[in-house]
Structure 1
Amino acid sequence: MFRFASLACALFATGLFTNNLSAAPVVLSDIKGYGFDSARQLQPFSVLVFDDTTGKVLARGDSAVAAQYPQAKKLAGNGKTVLPGLIDGHGHVLGLGQYLAVAELRGSETEQDAVTRVAQFAAANPDAPWIIGRGWNQVLWPTKQFPTTALLDEAVNNKPVYLTRVDAHAGWANSKALALAGINKDTIDPPGGEIIRDSKGNPTGVLIDNAMALVEQHIPEPDDNDTLRALNVAFSHLLALGITSVHDAGVDTATVKLYQKLAAEQKLPLRIYPMLSARDPQLPQWLQAGIIDDKTDFLDIRSVKIYGDGALGSRGAALIEPYSDQPSQKGLLVTQPDQLTQIMQMTIDAGFQTNVHAIGDLANRLVLDRFEQLVPQDKRQPSRHRVEHAQIVSPKDIPRFAKLHVLPAMQAVHATSDKNMAGDRLGVARLRGAYAWRSFIDQGSIIVGGSDFPVELAEPFHGIHASVTRQSQDNQPVGGWLPEQKLSLTEALRSFTVDAAYGAFQENSMGTLAPGSWADFILIDRDIYNIPAEQLWQVEVEQTYVNGKQVFTK
């Protein structure tokens, strides 16, 4: 379930830790604190000292540290556990805000269940020109088959309906939407996309990857006010989950400009690291303007998101060999190889971090080949280029990440979500390089942790739990799925704090709670180092602080 919360005004926040207008050090004591040092090693502490005016950590340690600040404001932690503010290294902020305002299909147990939810949403929103929804996953239905227009048409036939799959790599439309888009038996599949058809060649209502645009281009565009409302809903939601910084994966110019406006007005309540979308027509202008290094780290603009292939669940992930459960398919390259080279070259030459979506083993290999060809050896480590997802990688390609200093930006919850279908899609042999967190860590790669919200829930402790247990929340399978790839709790926590910060060139200013870093931290309801691992997903955030100011209280 999504948890909602209102942003607390920093100067008038109520609750255990109330801020006020006076400028002085603040000593937070009687806590079980966990942070990291410059070597990324775990550092426990019982006292945290910060300045709520500059927003910086001044010191951490024990009672001796507190004694050095006799004039400081005192806050009693009452034994609560304190962690660095969590960083989601791959999410979609606007998508999350919009998702919270559409038909919720996540968890639907059958096609009919999903359609019933759509019908209820349509009845509750009679003035909506389109019925939009997201979250269906046919793999969880008894038939495991893609849905069709038939049931949707029975439920809603007077207006277009468009529902994106949980991974956002497939869309399901009713006949009204297909007709509006001009999709019929004679429509040709676009490059990098597929119109699913029945035995007679007629569209069934499901569109894969680039074919989704045939319908999506007809959905009315939100205006700036709509976008701003959606962003604020997402901000509140993320802060309530303890997320104080997000790497926003694939942002268009209009949204970046809204971010810039909010930042200029000091109205960004959490830190945003936007990846400029490679699909944005204005990308060349952004690259020509150069990196924007925000000294407050609320809005650093220095990266680009490029799209390689599709997703595994919709068989759009590009594979070297055919899908085990559909030998006629190898997936889709949503950016063709020559164009991929061109965009990567342009981004690398401009000095921007290049972050490429690659899920299948073919897509990962093509991206690694290009990093090897295009990035001079002396620029590889300082550039910190990334592969977003790195989900299914040929075992012989995994060492290339370390050799080329390419960061795997991975989402642990994808493994526990996909475990019921990944074996069917890939077969046993290819699972050796799938969701291979331990293999990456053991070779020295730094994993940028994240959730890929709203594809998955924006719950960071779900990701930490999945990293450590390789299990679903009902403790299945026993011992964990592909358990040899488990991480330790500290490794998992690092992936959502200092290692995610490293993926944005920010490890010296956030993710550690070391002196000199931003005072972004959370208070949680239990000590994660003293509970059974299977309870990690149940951790609740009680307080969230950004820049030493309380921005959420439960």
Structure 2
Amino acid sequence: MQRQIYYNGNILTQDKRKPKATAFALENKKYIAVGNDNDILQLKNDETEIIDLQNKTVLPGFNDAHIHIWKVGNLMTYTLDLRGVQSVEEMLDKINDYHKNNPQLKWIQARGFNEANFPDKRIPNKNDLDKITTEKPICVTRTCAHQIVVNSKALEIAELSKSTQTPAGGEIKLLPNGELAGHFTETAIGLILNKIPKYSKEELRTMVLAAQNEFIKLGITSATDPAVDKELLEVYKEMDKNGQLKIRINLFPIRIPDGTNKIYPLPEFYSSEHLKVNTIKFFADGGLSGKTAALKNPYKDSSEYGVLRLEKENFKKLTKESQDAGFRIATHAIGDAAIEMVLEVLNEISVSNKNNINHRIEHLGLPSEHDLWLMKELNISAVMQPVFIYELGKNFKEYLNDEYLNYVYPAKSVLEHGINLAFSTDAPVVKDFNPLTNIQSAMNRKDTTGFEIEASQKINFNDALYAYTIGSAIANGDEKEI
């Protein structure tokens, strides 16, 4: 391929030895040199294409270290997007229209509501969804994906009743009359989701390709899909072998599926130019925006403490087994109770971490000072989502007391403790996965109303950009390939 030289630019390299440059050269779509105009222009030949950057700024490709790729594509293709709805009534109207316009669907699926946006702050239930239809099953996923609401037909298909045993680490909600509300949280959502027909390989490919196209438009050149099952893993591998992956993707297979006692076996390692499998994903708790993240103290004006999804000894057994096999451990832990438990386990198994694998904590919503100290000692990366402050800040104000609110997602403290910080969006939990929105959120910590959440945890642009590039690469163990 023809050599290209770009010059007269403001290039932010993220290389601490040479943080800025004015020119770079490409060959076969890869960088062969970065430096000043004079040095790089000497690399031209008669066939070189020369591009004047006209003093524009050039950023590295972004690395979203935690984004559910296929689910982003799913909301673009096969599921109704409810993000942004402002009331239960608006939500029901949208689902009803979708139901009428898609008579071929066996299940009506939608995702994205956030009750904090509703005037009455109410999570809908089966009685609401039954107004649309009782003949076809409906499953509506909250924006966090840790809670679902279904209609009576879905309960019938899943053969659930008020006497159904609740899976450990989840909750089956009841109406005041003792009947099922059709509302399930955390591990209990698997009781319904496992009854929904699986997507075909072709449908999954369509979702991944749709998401990938959007990523490329936004300058996202690397991404991590942080919870995949065996079927999706095989689809990604086939796409890689067929040359359909245009960005670098890391996959995190799960060991514990929702709603069952089954344990998935360890996957095989996989590594190519565009696809890697070297990390195992676990979920320790839920999310702050839906009050299922596990806290030591109750949520604001509530007796709720959230949900610990994992039993400590079982978690320790599975993480040690995964680590001993050479896998990195990535654990979803948001509340302070969950973070503490996860770090206790990672500390206990660290004596057998002979390969010095750098594990990760996903989200890290409410760490204590001791948690941060221990993360530094154990070389554990923090994979955070500043855009949560922007899109979900309204929930944090509603559900967290001041002590928690003033320390939620403390990016500055993470950096001050010398912990590797990686950035991501966790989309489609959030609607906006533009890296620049995420960086802006890290810098101003304001929600959609302009309310500022703890200014002392703001970080500067350079630190945010580093987290979105080098920090994410380090969290994935890819720093030697930069």
Q: Structure 2 length normalisation: TM-score?
A: 0.93
Distance 1:199 1:193, change over 3 A: same
Selected match of 1:493 from 456, 465, 471: 465
> What is residue 165 of structure 2 aligned with on the other side?
188
- Which residue in 1 is equivalent to 2:403? 429
What displacement does 1:155 show? Answer: 2.1
Post-superposition offset of 1:128? 0.7
Higher relative contact order (CA 8 A, sep 6+): 1
Q: Comparing 150-159 with 225-234, which one deviates more in the overlay?
A: 150-159
Q: Is the CA contact (8 Å cut-off) linking 1:196 and 1:205 kept in structure 2?
A: yes
Which amino acid in 2 is paired with 1:124?
Answer: N
CA distance in 1, matches of 2:460, 2:285: 30
How far apart in 1 are the matches of 2:370 and 2:478? 31
Which residue of 115, 124, 129 maps to 2:106?
129
Superposition map of 1:408-423 within 5 A: 408-423=382-397
1:398 is matched with which residue? 372
CA distance in 1, matches of 2:127, 2:236: 41
Give the match for residue 152 of structure 2: 175
Change (3 A) 1:429 1:377: farther
Relative to structure 2, which stretch is displaced further, 113-122 or 23-32?
23-32
What is the deviation of 1:26? 1.2
What is the DSSP-based 3-state SS (H/G/I as helix, E as strand, rest coil) of the residue aligned with 1:90?
A: coil
Matches within 5 A, 1:222-233: 222-233=199-210
Partner of 2:73: 97
Decide which of 58, 63, 83 is 2:32's aligned counterpart.
58
CA distance in 2, matches of 1:416, 1:489: 17
Aligned mates of 1:285, 1:356 — CA distance in 2: 16
Corresponding position of 2:420? 446
Q: Report SS of the residue matched to 1:94.
A: helix
**Which residue number corresponds to residue 273 of structure 1?**
250
Structure 1 unaligned residues grouped into runs of 5+: 1-22, 511-554
| Structure 1 residue ranges, 4+ long, deviating more than 6 angstroms after superposition | none
Instruction: Report which stretch shifted further, 450-459 or 334-343.
Output: 334-343
CA displacement at 1:447 relative to structure 2: 0.8
Q: Is the 8 A contact 1:278 1:307 kept in 2?
A: no
Cα distance in 1, alignment partners of residues 284 and 76 from structure 2:
27
1:387-431 deviations in Å (ceiling 9; x for gaps): 111111233322211122111111111122332232443311233
TM-superposed deviation, 1:96? 1.2
Separation (CA, whole Å) in 2 of partners of 1:323 and 1:473: 22
SS of equivalent residue, structure 1 residue 157: coil
Which deviates the most, 298-307 or 63-72?
Answer: 63-72
Instruction: Report the Cα distance in structure 1 between the residues aligned to 2:325 and 2:306, rounded to whole angstroms.
Output: 31
State the SS of the aligned residue for 1:401.
helix
Partner of 2:302: 326
SS, match of residue 479 in structure 2: coil
Name 1:354's counterpart in structure 2. Answer: 329
- Name the structure 2 match of 1:34: 12
Q: Distance in 1 between matches of 2:132 and 2:271?
A: 50
2:94 to 80, 99, 117: 117
Mean CA deviation greater in 336-345 or 149-158: 149-158
Deviation, 1:283, is: 4.8
Tell me, yes or no, if structure 1 residue 344 matches structure 2 residue 322. no
Amino acid at match of 1:241: L
Residue identity in the other structure for 2:7:
S
- How many residue pairs get aligned? The number is 474
Measure how far apart 1:75 and its partner are: 2.4
**Displacement after TM superposition at 1:319 (Å):** 1.3
Aligned equivalent of 1:284: 265
TM-score (norm. length: structure 1): 0.82
CA apart distance, 1:95? 1.2
SS where residue 346 of structure 2 aligns? helix
Pairwise CA distance, 1:285: 4.4
Q: In 2 relative to 1, CA 396–418 (structure 1 residues): closer, same or farther, beyond 3 Å?
A: farther
| Secondary structure in structure 2 of the residue aligned to 1:235 | helix
- In structure 2, runs of 5+ residues without a counterpart are none
Q: What amino acid does structure 1 have at the position aligned with 2:367? A: V
**Secondary structure of 1:418's partner?**
helix
Name the aligned partner's letter for residue 143 of structure 1: D
Distance in 2 separating the partners of 1:305 and 1:320: 23
- State whether residues 392 and 447 of structure 2, in contact with CA within 8 Å, keep that contact through their aligned partners in structure 1: no
Aligned to 2:178: 201
Local SS of the residue matching 1:196: strand
Q: 1:400 to 1:433 in 2, by over 3 A?
A: farther
- Displacement of 1:322 after TM fit? 2.5
- SS of 2:414's partner is helix
For residue 391 of structure 2, give the secondary structure of its aligned residue in structure 1. Answer: helix
Instruction: State the 1:238 CA deviation.
Output: 1.3
Contact 1:394/1:430 (CA < 8 Å) preserved in 2? no
Amino acid in the other structure paired with 1:348: Q
Instruction: State the alpha-carbon separation in 2 of the partners of residues 448 and 155 from structure 1.
Output: 43
- Code of the residue aligned with 2:372 in structure 1: it is I
Residue 158 of structure 1 and its aligned partner are, at CA, apart by: 2.4
1:213-228 to 2 correspondence within 5 Å? 213-228=190-205
> Paired residue for 1:3?
none
